[in-house]
Chain A
Amino acid sequence: MIQALGKMGISTFGWLGRCCIFLVYVASGFFIALKNWRDLIAQLYFVGVLSLVIIVVSGFFVGMVLGLQGYNTLVDFGAEESLGVVVSLSLVRELGPVVAALLFAGRAGSALTAEIGLMKSTEQLMAMEMMAVDPLHRVIAPRLLAGIIAMPLLAAIFSAVGVYGGYFVGTGLLGVDDGAFWSQMQAAVDFNGDVMNGIIKSIVFGFVITWIAVFEGYDTAPTSEGISRATTRTVVNSSLAVLALDFVLTAVMFD
């Protein structure tokens, strides 16, 4: 029992240590990644643009559900004109960054892990090393940067589309006053307090998800089973990390 606990502890701390050393090496390649801006743009397309469909569709439905549930609650108090406030604050502060991050982990995180894992198993990373090209700088760094840049943009799009989803249900279907919806939202949502904090959250989430995804891909056993396990670990670990970090960040930001 004690032996097993010790083994687990060593394995966990070993993983954390490898993860941090990996990050230091990758971060030292950010300048090279910025210099190779074409690669960075290609990765932004891969992790960002290709995630747009799921982000937009999910954002719209989440917004519609918020509109519906919010209206049903608010109408009991005769406060249905505050629907815009409920929808927008829920999205900008919490649901936008968190749900977009969970979707990002599932769509882009898993794809990054699988791609890098496959590059490892087909010896492409080793071939780069043999050509004296550091794969941490050439392959990993642009992907990590792209994740950090794409995540806040995706979260912002998620929130914006969600607000329109709530607006569509609230004013279009349930008869909430159009002007009240927008004006109350404008009055209640604070740019620094709400929008900026949401953006900071999504930058942190983007960094953590992409870090886990690229590390799992790079650290995977170069077999089909290894890649499959690494992909699963990416989605599970990054989703848990997002939820845990959300609590911590919310406690710090909205205390």
Chain B
Amino acid sequence: MGQIQQSVDPIVRTEGLSFARGDRVIFDKVNIEIPRGKITAIMGPSGCGKTTLLRLITGQLTPQAGTIFVDNEEVPKLSRTKLFELRKRMSMLFQSGALLTDLTVFENVAFPLKEHTELSDEAIRTLVLMKLEAVGLRGARGLMPSELSGGMARRVALARSIALDPMMILYDEPFTGQDPISMGVLVRLIKLMNDAMNMTSVVVSHDVKETLSIADYVYILSAGKVVGKGTPESLHNAGSKWVKQFLNALPDGPVHFHYPADEFANDLISGGRS
């Protein structure tokens, strides 16, 4: 399997991570390592726990068993204060953008700078304009979030998430619901930001083509397990039927098209008695 050399000191490491919602197991003793300075994609079908994994990494959720290390800090054991200190060094791009709706684009990007630095208004202005220029929205700084398209909102959120120059950005479904142009812009920006700022990027997505075009390493999740991992090339050549079905978008395979049910003929002749 043509894996890339895993980082000696991964930025994120899960050990026997288990998490369930009620009776539904989301992760069952999952081990994942995310290398520093690379773009790692976490892929899988809807509902497989991709976003849950991001929430576990960022300490929004606590695992029932196993643990998670981020930058050598054990996230589930951190106090609220220490967790906030860690969060200053990473950021998350939400699927919705999650911009603060009562602030302008400029104020949204300036928000983390005003909260966590003692910089002068002039310095903050310069930094915000630089971040907005990087995402191509310097001219939209006076707009309110309600005046932005979905793609623009995500770009503003991206500018906000790099405001404090984090060591890692977690992207939650960044391409979902985007038109081809916006999608292309976002793909390019993620790659550019990662390389230019020497960051680590974790992209959670089920958009195969776009994600594999920028990912250095890929984890594919299903039914609480890692079912495939490796570089995009190695995954394409992998023998796993599951990985093949997912990457080639086949309607039937190990993941069945039909939801489990009785025989169709039995259902028809039962006359509505079941």
Question: Which A residues form the contact surface with B (CB < 8 A)?
Answer: 119, 122-124, 126-134, 138
* Cβ distance A222 to chain B, nearest Cβ, rounded Å: 11
Give A32 to B242 CA distance when docked, in angstroms: 52
A123 and B94: CB pair below 8 A?
A: yes
Query: Out of B88, B100, B101, B157, which one reaches A132, CB within 8 Å?
Result: B88
Q: Which residues of A contact B91 (CB under 8 A)?
A: 130-131
Give A129 to B81 CA distance when docked, in angstroms: 11
Pick 11 A–B contacts, CB within 8 A, sort by A.
A119-B101, A123-B98, A124-B101, A130-B58, A130-B87, A131-B91, A131-B115, A132-B85, A132-B88, A132-B112, A133-B112
Give A63 to B98 CA distance when docked, in angstroms: 46
Give A151 to B100 CA distance when docked, in angstroms: 27
When A and B form their complex, what is the total count of cross-chain residue pairs whose Cβ atoms lie within 8 Å?
48
Binding site of A, secondary structure by majority: helix, strand, loop or mixed? Answer: helix
Query: Out of A122, A132, A138, which one reaches B98, CB within 8 Å?
Result: A122
Give A94 to B96 CA distance when docked, in angstroms: 47
Q: Which residues of A contact B87 (CB under 8 A)?
A: 129-132
Q: How large is the interface on B (under 10, 10 to 19, 20 to 34, 35 or more residues)?
A: 20 to 34
Give A132 to B95 CA distance when docked, in angstroms: 19
Q: Which residues of A contact B60 (CB under 8 A)?
A: 126, 129-130
Give A133 to B87 CA distance when docked, in angstroms: 9
Give A124 to B115 CA distance when docked, in angstroms: 16
Beyond the given A130-B58, A130-B60, A132-B116, could you list 7 further A-B residue pairs with CB under 8 A, ordered by the A residue number?
A124-B101, A130-B92, A131-B87, A131-B115, A132-B87, A132-B115, A138-B115
Given that A126-B94, A127-B94, A129-B60 are contacting pairs, would A134 and B84 also be in contact in the complex, using a CB cutoff of 8 Å? yes
Indicate if B69 sits at the interface (CB-CB under 8 A): no
Give A138 to B102 CA distance when docked, in angstroms: 14
- Interface set, chain B 38-74, CB cutoff 8 A to A: 58, 60
A127 and B115: CB pair below 8 A?
A: no
Q: Who on chain A is nearest to B88 by CB?
A: A132
B85 and A124: CB pair below 8 A?
A: no
Give A126 to B111 CA distance when docked, in angstroms: 14
Q: Which residues of B contact A132 (CB under 8 A)?
A: 84-85, 87-88, 112, 115-116
Given that A126-B60, A126-B94, A127-B94 are contacting pairs, would A133 and B100 also be in contact in the complex, using a CB cutoff of 8 Å? no
Give A228 to B112 CA distance when docked, in angstroms: 31
> What 7 A-B pairs are tightest by C-beta distance, nearest first?
A127-B98, A123-B98, A132-B84, A132-B87, A132-B88, A130-B92, A131-B112
A122 and B92: CB pair below 8 A?
A: no
* Cβ distance B102 to chain A, nearest Cβ, rounded Å: 9
Give A134 to B84 CA distance when docked, in angstroms: 9
Q: Which residues of A contact B85 (CB under 8 A)?
A: 132
